[in-house]
Chains A and B, each alone.
Chain A
Amino acid sequence: MRIFSKSLLAAAALTLPLAATVQGAGHGDNPYASHIAARQGYMQILAFNIGVLGGMARGNIDYDAEAAQTAANNLAAMAGVDGRPTWPAGSDNAALGDATRALPAIWEDMGGFGEEWMAYGAAASGMADAAGNGLEALQAAIGPLGGACGSCHRNFRQSDD
């Protein structure tokens, strides 16, 4: 009897927190899975549009002023999205492992992280001003755009391994 109640207690102790987490998240054991999915989806929209512009800049696809302008406008519009709700404290790779490459440095330096977003906005506007004005103008604007992406990824995203 004593053994039975003890193991029942232990089982309850093990199950309760698990049940609470699952209920809170609805996505397995990662409470921020939907936040991370939103962030990564946002980045994929950027990569898709940068792919159009970069493909033209590199000569992989023919320059098309209208398509270039559309892609650049999308990038500038994305810069206006307030993504703050998708970056809750604790949704970093130290807490969640491989689910995200977001480094804890984001939350240790939220001001610096915000400045990087502003710099992305400036580079995206620069591209929107340039993309429709010919291939050379587009090529001149792609470097600063890559610089803005890299500047943020340098400090705030886990490197590839």
Chain B
Amino acid sequence: MRFLRFLVILAILGAAAGWYLTAPQSLAASDIPERDGDAEHGELVFWAAGCASCHAAEDAEGDARLIMSGGRAFPSDFGTFYAPNISMDPDHGIGGWSEAEFLSAVRNGVSPEGQHYYPAFPYTTYARAGITDLQDLWAFMQTLPADATPSRDHDVGFPFSIRRSLGGWKLLFASDDWVIEGDDLSPQVMRGRYLVESLGHCGECHTPRNALGGLDYANWLAGAPNPSGEGRIPNITPAALTWSASDIANYLRDGFTPEFDSAGGEMAEVILNMAHLPDADRAAIAAYLQALPASE
């Protein structure tokens, strides 16, 4: 009888601990510096972070890539995700958000209503971003047009349809540690690491995932099956990417391989973003990629 009571108490404590551990954690107010975001610098953050690749309408070109109306579908093993409207529309977009709500969404994957976002939104890599960079991004986003397209609900099956379960996913897989560690990296490689591992979220496609959708860091940037089902995303470690640093940097600007074939697929769109960065940033990405351990 006493043993049974012990078991019941243990179960209640376990459930309480689980409930506590999976609770969405917003960014603390004390972590947010009091400063005005710099929209001009925020535009560079916007392109480096590739926001338009998911949140602009399918096939948007030119200035239309600044309209964050959402709607693009992302099929996955867990269901189909639809990019939401993150334009400045107060009803259908995020025009009514505060800066703190925006920062919690991007860095912590937590909505203003206190729910977990699905990690199709790469907040696990944006968690490595500097808060001031994200403040600047917010300042820039507020200069973008409003669009009244309603966001579409994700089409996700049980148990992933229970958003609280994502708290467990975050416990297992979310980390704001650098993948390539070391304080002795050159300033250029460190800048490249920031652009690749944080804002650029390159690992989201170029790194394989485990059965639960967590990144397999042992095979960082070593290539992965294409989530669209066709082909593979290439290995971009020195084991496979043997281009010169200047070839890599130029490819990220004009989209031409060293043989002057052009990028295709999703990467053509990534280059539309990367082309907005200064030359030094593309060179830093190349330096970081060349400093990676070769991974087959």
Contact = CB atoms under 8 A, between A and B. Distances in A.
Contacts of A145: 254
Task: Tell me if A's interface is mostly helix, strand, loop or mixed.
Answer: helix
B246 interface: yes
Contact of B226 (A47, A146, A150, A161): A161
B264 A160 contact: yes
B277 to A, nearest CB: 13
B256 A157 contact: no
Contacts of A151: 61, 268
23 contacts: A50-B256, A50-B260, A51-B260, A54-B250, A57-B254, A58-B250, A142-B254, A146-B262, A150-B264, A150-B272, A151-B268, A153-B262, A153-B268, A154-B264, A154-B269, A157-B264, A158-B230, A158-B231, A159-B231, A159-B264, A159-B266, A160-B231, A161-B231
Contacts of A149: 255-256, 262
A153 B260 contact: no
A4 B250 CA distance: 68
A47 B250 CA distance: 16
A143 interface: yes
A73 interface: no
Contacts of A41: none
B260 A47 contact: yes
- Nearest 10 CB-CB pairs, A to B? A159-B265, A161-B231, A153-B264, A150-B268, A149-B262, A146-B255, A146-B254, A154-B268, A51-B260, A150-B255
A126 to B, nearest CB: 13
Contact of A159 (B259, B260, B267, B272): B267
Interface residues of A, number: 22
B135 to A, nearest CB: 30
A149 B255 CA distance: 8
Chain B, interface size category, equals 20 to 34
Contacts of A159: 226, 230-231, 264-267
B263 A58 contact: no
Given A153-B268, A154-B265, A146 B231 contact: no
Contacts of B253: 143
A28 interface: no
B119 interface: no
A50 B61 CA distance: 23
A147 interface: yes
Interface in A45-61: 47, 50-51, 54, 57-58
A52 to B, nearest CB: 9
A117 to B, nearest CB: 14
A138 to B, nearest CB: 11
A145 B269 CA distance: 14
Interface in A7-66: 47, 50-51, 54, 57-58
Nearest to A160: B234
